[in-house]
Structure 1
Amino acid sequence: MNKSYLSKYINRYKKQFFIALTFLILETMGDLIQPTIMSKIIDNGVKRGDMNYVLKLGGIMLLMTALGAICAVVRNIVSSRVSQSFGADLREDLYIKIQDFSFDNIDEFQDASLITRLTNDVNQIQNFSHGMMRVFVKAPVLGLGAIVMAFILNPKMALILLGVVPVVGIVIALNLKISYPIFTEIQKALDKVNGVMREYLAGIRVVKAFNRFDYEQERFRKVNQNLKGITLKGMRITAVFNPVVALVVNIGIVLVLWFGGLGANVGNMEVGKIMAFINYMTQVLFALMIMTRVLNMYIRAKASAERIGEVFKAENTILTKDAPIPIIGVKGQLEFEKVYFRYHSGSRYVLEDIDFSAKPGETLAIIGTTGAGKSTLINLIPRFYDVTEGKIKIDDIDIKDISFNELREKIGIVPQKVLLFTGSIKDNIKWGDKDATDEEVEKVAKIAQAHGFIMSFNEGYDTYLGQGGVNLSGGQKQRISIARALIKKPTILILDDSTSAVDLITERNIRKGLKEYLKDTTTILIAQRITSVMDAEKILVMDRGKIVGIGIHEELMKDCEIYQDIYHSQIGKEVHSLDV
């Protein structure tokens, strides 16, 4: 397994781990001694009719059984605590690592794969660690101990055991070599199942609206059948190797009975020792079967450990400086200087030669054709992605020189795709500021034109929202999202087409409220409707990742053909209705 990241957990829990192993070994030693005691009871007690001897050694066997049970209870308690704590710590550290990822990192791994690594892969390693403290270590100790005890009883007969072990070792090695790649594929197939399922649940309303159940069932059937096929392939290998191990060991038991019987007939072997030998052969069989199971679990855990290791090894593509520049009293002057951006090296530029500025208190509106790069541009401001070339500055400070926390604390974002969390409406608004008072929550809700519909609910601001705010309309979700951003009192406010689902009158009232509430805030507004941008102090027109026009409405109507096209395509529907 990958020990580079597991070493810290090994060091953290090694004392408790060794305590569990100590009790496990004591339990195993008791199991190993009992067949020898039993042979003495038969050969020295039962054979001679000495009941005192039988009762004495029988009492010792009972005592050792009781001590073994106590050791097993302690070992189970310690192993359960250690494995659960280890799993919880690993899962939490992995979650924190993913939280620190840039969008590039998340795009690389994919959401579904990260979910599988957080759940199934962590469980595989946790189960293996639990098994290590329960039966996995016991198996080799029991197997080796049984061979040693067999040699003490009868060295010649013990040679049968020495003949069995190498054959089984070869079988196990073949199992390991063949199985590992298959179990790695199983985890990847599980990623695909989770991906399809997650996509379906996220878009279930669209699926229902277009009645595409057959299509979705077929998609799921393909990935599910793929998972089934690969899993069956792995299980078939296990189904072949486990019986082979059992067959080899059982052949050894038959040989013990054969040669033991011959020895008993000529008086060279006592019946008690033959029974003890059979017990030791059974223990060896148990040990080898468990070790085969261990290796199967090890293969899965190793594959999972490497997948988790890939996440821990991944370097954040967006780095902050060791000594970032503190931003105190920031005003919100925003500048893009010859910015170029592409998502991956070698791919085409999504943004080219972006050069503009926005003053504190100014509203900069961005409009353009679909796919022009508007949302990509504003994703660069809070450093969800880093520029490929050029600089972005806030108050003449390169944002790469500012810590993530300080930079994002100054920015309020209303994303194009609104996401609300399970909880009350008040809780969702206070995501922007957990210390906000009820009065502040109500104030920003009024500015966002959300107070009215919130109070129409029986529970008001305490109304419980399902996952993603499923019990709200699109416009209601957008308004709560705006309130959530406003309560931060941001220096820079980014609105990414955040009023597309509200009516024109409500949108106008929101814009009016924003202007009064955030007089000194730099506002970046992306919109599809031209009426949303016409009043802005500066309008930036984009097409195919480039700025093709910049100025106020009147200037663009004279000089920018694309702006004119957008205006003429919408003017009849919206402008007259607002008397602009």
Structure 2
Amino acid sequence: MLWSLLMRYLRPYWQLLLGVIVFQLAQSIASLFLPTLNADIIDEGVATGDTGYILRVGGLMLLITLAQIICAIVAVYFGAKVAMKVGRDLRGAVFSRVGEFSEQEVTRFGAPSLITRSTNDVQQVQMLVLTTCTLLVSAPILSIGGVIMAIRQDVQLSWLIAVSVPILLIAVGLIVVRMVPLFRTMQTRIDTVNRVLREQLTGIRVVRAFVRETQEVARFAKANQDVTDVALSSGRLMALMFPIVMLVLNVSSVAVIWFGAFRIEDGSMQVGTLIAFLSYLMQILMAVMMATFMAVMIPRAAVSADRIGEVLATESSVTPPANPVQVTVGRGELELLDVGFAYPGAEQPVLRNVSFIARHGETTAIIGSTGSGKTTLVNLLPRLFDATSGSVLVDGVNVRELNPDLLWGHIGLVPQKPYLFSGTVRSNLLYGKPDATEEDLWQALTIAQAREFVTDMAGGLDAPISQGGTNISGGQRQRLAIARALVKRPELYIFDDSFSALDLATDARLRLALKQSTDDATMIIVAQRVSSIIDADQILVLEDGRIVGRGTHEQLLDSNTTYQEIVSSQLTAEETA
């Protein structure tokens, strides 16, 4: 997965990669000539006292060194540019794919894991790209070229290379093999830390309300310690690697000097040649050591690439049609025909044989006990899920055949848990319709019974809203979410228990204003509170995923036992009269 991922996302930047290769190649070739020139200065210039020769060759070495520095800088610049672009593209690809997921895929991966995959995992692959661009060319050239140049200097000492390099490779390989499973465990445990931290931050009020700070601190400490333990295990192995490399490096240097001294003594080798041979051996072993940096990063990057690839390879269970319908009559009429839905692996379906028609200009309400399937039913309408049986039709067209953008353009959804984005009141309302005028925004706020509190906020429409709307009350969040849907002016409104945080008086005023302003649209209202749906043209009573009653409030009050039980648990006899 790692190499296929890299090939896919490196391909657009082949020109930059070519630049990296060229400059790394030039830098490495320059490094290979410097020890030979140094040997010439010692054996030809110093030994004979030829100052002119020393200056000429020394000047050439200085020029080569300057060129080497320039090539190194340019190669690192190009390599960093490639790595940053690959990281950007990977994050964008993961974000785009997650944006296509249905609720089912998001739930399967989990939000904390998806965040880790698009940040920490992408960073690991990005760092590998940077290291690869820096070392991939120079390491093999220095090692192979160093062997050739060392043999040219002295063949009889080359057996030291044949001994030291395999020892170094075997030692490093044994360490890397043990690090792979640790890196896989580490990424999973980072997911756990993110999950616990996310839960504690979003549920801070619940934690404090139930005085669970101590237990939550202990839970985070456990997850944190798990990450620390595996990080220490991998860190110990990594720390072991460099002493081994230095040990082989130093022992090899001593061996070269030891055996080279005997050859110098018997006159078969010159001092400059020994120094050049030692320099080439250092280059070879340093190249191997540089390769160990990649060897350390490859296993972790491979684990991260697998996790990223898993997201990118996951297709949404809600697939767009091959030949989508691009135009509808635009009335927002909704029809469900024998619809059923079951979650993957569930023993029983959540919805069974649900059929009804929600007509243009009418309000259809859905009520039922907790767990009866109301929210699941609502999620089928905009294709957040796909029905496992039956059909959902909008304006007579199956939603599976509609262009998704056209379908979502017809629908104004106010979810059960209203979510506001960080920004301002204005930016949140414009989310529904970017080209809406200020008059449109105030009109929507007026209908949603939100004008008064928005006017009182410092800045009005430009008043700041924190992420999730945590700086305003639950009722204010609901009203802003309703206003956001109203700004859109869709043909089909879906309110999923969207009035639950409102007091009865505000609820009544809001329902009256909605009825007057949305009489040209289809309205679906899911509610727990009978007072919110008492004036609906059609009320559907859900129980255990089935419709067990339908009709107006008066009709159901006379004929449906389930509805009667719901009403009697909420309203007094005077309120139901």
- Shorter chain as denominator, the TM-score bin is over 0.9
Amino acid at match of 1:235: G
Match of 1:339 in 2: 339
CA distance in 2, matches of 1:5, 1:75: 22
Match of 1:218 in 2: 218
For structure 1, which segment, 436-445 or 68-77, has the greater mean C-alpha deviation from structure 2 after superposition? 68-77
Cα distance per residue 1:353-377 (max 9 Å; x no partner): 2122211111111111111111111
CA distance in 1, matches of 2:236, 2:306: 24
CA distance in 1, matches of 2:267, 2:54: 23
Match of 2:532 in 1: 532
Equivalent runs, 1:1-40 vs 2, <5 Å: 1-40=1-40
Cα distance per residue 1:125-175 (max 9 Å; x no partner): 111111112234322221222211101101111221122222222233323
Match of 1:414 in 2: 414
For structure 1, which segment, 207-216 or 482-491, has the greater mean C-alpha deviation from structure 2 after superposition? 207-216
Match of 1:445 in 2: 445
Cα distance per residue 1:528-565 (max 9 Å; x no partner): 11111111111111122222211111221122222111
For structure 1, which segment, 6-15 or 109-118, has the greater mean C-alpha deviation from structure 2 after superposition? 6-15
CA distance in 1, matches of 2:344, 2:520: 36
Equivalent runs, 1:56-75 vs 2, <5 Å: 56-75=56-75
Match of 2:98 in 1: 98
Cα distance per residue 1:462-497 (max 9 Å; x no partner): 101111112211111110100000111111101111
Amino acid at match of 1:435: D
CA distance in 1, matches of 2:463, 2:332: 35
CA distance in 1, matches of 2:542, 2:74: 69
Shift of 1:64: 0.7
Amino acid at match of 1:504: L
Residue 253 (structure 1) aligned with residue 269 (structure 2) = no
CA distance in 1, matches of 2:268, 2:297: 44
CA distance in 2, matches of 1:469, 1:104: 25
TM-score, with normalisation over the residues of structure 1?
0.96
For structure 1, which segment, 493-502 or 265-274, has the greater mean C-alpha deviation from structure 2 after superposition? 265-274
Shift of 1:579: 8.5
Equivalent runs, 1:199-278 vs 2, <5 Å: 199-278=199-278
Cα distance per residue 1:77-133 (max 9 Å; x no partner): 212222111211221122111111111111111111110111011111111111112
Shift of 1:51: 1.3
Residue 315 (structure 1) aligned with residue 310 (structure 2) = no
Cα distance per residue 1:224-280 (max 9 Å; x no partner): 111111122222222333333332333322221111011111111211122222222
CA distance in 2, matches of 1:4, 1:407: 36
Contact 1:410–1:490 (CA<8 Å) still a contact in 2? yes
Amino acid at match of 1:53: Y
Contact 2:146–2:283 (CA<8 Å) still a contact in 1? yes
Match of 1:141 in 2: 141
Amino acid at match of 1:121: D
Shift of 1:511: 0.7
Match of 2:356 in 1: 356
Q: Secondary structure at the match of 1:550?
A: strand
Amino acid at match of 1:481: A
Contact 2:419–2:469 (CA<8 Å) still a contact in 1? yes
Shift of 1:4: 4.0
Match of 2:542 in 1: 542
CA distance in 2, matches of 1:75, 1:208: 54
Contact 2:320–2:400 (CA<8 Å) still a contact in 1? yes
Per the alignment, do residues 5 and 286 of structure 1 end up closer, same or farther by CA in structure 2, a change over 3 Å counting? closer
Q: Show structure 2 runs of 5+ residues with no match.
A: none
Match of 1:193 in 2: 193
Q: Secondary structure at the match of 1:493?
A: strand
Match of 2:551 in 1: 551
Amino acid at match of 1:526: V
Match of 1:474 in 2: 474
Amino acid at match of 1:498: S
CA distance in 1, matches of 2:17, 2:58: 33
For structure 1, which segment, 297-306 or 173-182, has the greater mean C-alpha deviation from structure 2 after superposition? 173-182
CA distance in 2, matches of 1:253, 1:6: 38
Contact 2:30–2:65 (CA<8 Å) still a contact in 1? yes
Per the alignment, do residues 347 and 249 of structure 1 end up closer, same or farther by CA in structure 2, a change over 3 Å counting? farther
Per the alignment, do residues 422 and 19 of structure 1 end up closer, same or farther by CA in structure 2, a change over 3 Å counting? same
Q: Secondary structure at the match of 1:487?
A: helix
Shift of 1:346: 4.7
Contact 2:339–2:352 (CA<8 Å) still a contact in 1? yes
For structure 1, which segment, 418-427 or 80-89, has the greater mean C-alpha deviation from structure 2 after superposition? 80-89
Amino acid at match of 2:551: G
CA distance in 2, matches of 1:430, 1:347: 42
Amino acid at match of 2:21: L
Per the alignment, do residues 213 and 514 of structure 1 end up closer, same or farther by CA in structure 2, a change over 3 Å counting? same
Q: Secondary structure at the match of 2:548?
A: strand
For structure 1, which segment, 429-438 or 229-238, has the greater mean C-alpha deviation from structure 2 after superposition? 229-238
Match of 2:517 in 1: 517
Per the alignment, do residues 405 and 347 of structure 1 end up closer, same or farther by CA in structure 2, a change over 3 Å counting? farther
Contact 1:136–1:290 (CA<8 Å) still a contact in 2? no
Contact 1:5–1:312 (CA<8 Å) still a contact in 2? no
For structure 1, which segment, 322-331 or 430-439, has the greater mean C-alpha deviation from structure 2 after superposition? 322-331
Contact 1:444–1:487 (CA<8 Å) still a contact in 2? yes
CA distance in 1, matches of 2:38, 2:5: 47
CA distance in 1, matches of 2:387, 2:328: 24
Amino-acid identity (%): 39
Residue 366 (structure 1) aligned with residue 369 (structure 2) = no
RMSD: 1.6
Residue 381 (structure 1) aligned with residue 355 (structure 2) = no
For structure 1, which segment, 272-281 or 12-21, has the greater mean C-alpha deviation from structure 2 after superposition? 272-281
Shift of 1:5: 4.3
CA distance in 1, matches of 2:256, 2:2: 42
Match of 1:78 in 2: 78
Match of 2:462 in 1: 462
Cα distance per residue 1:302-351 (max 9 Å; x no partner): 11111111111111111121111223322222111111111114542111
Match of 1:504 in 2: 504
Cα distance per residue 1:64-87 (max 9 Å; x no partner): 111111111211221222211121
Amino acid at match of 1:442: W
Amino acid at match of 1:298: I
Shift of 1:190: 0.9
Contact 1:318–1:386 (CA<8 Å) still a contact in 2? yes
CA distance in 1, matches of 2:391, 2:5: 35
CA distance in 2, matches of 1:466, 1:99: 22
For structure 1, which segment, 492-501 or 199-208, has the greater mean C-alpha deviation from structure 2 after superposition? 199-208
Q: Secondary structure at the match of 2:488?
A: coil
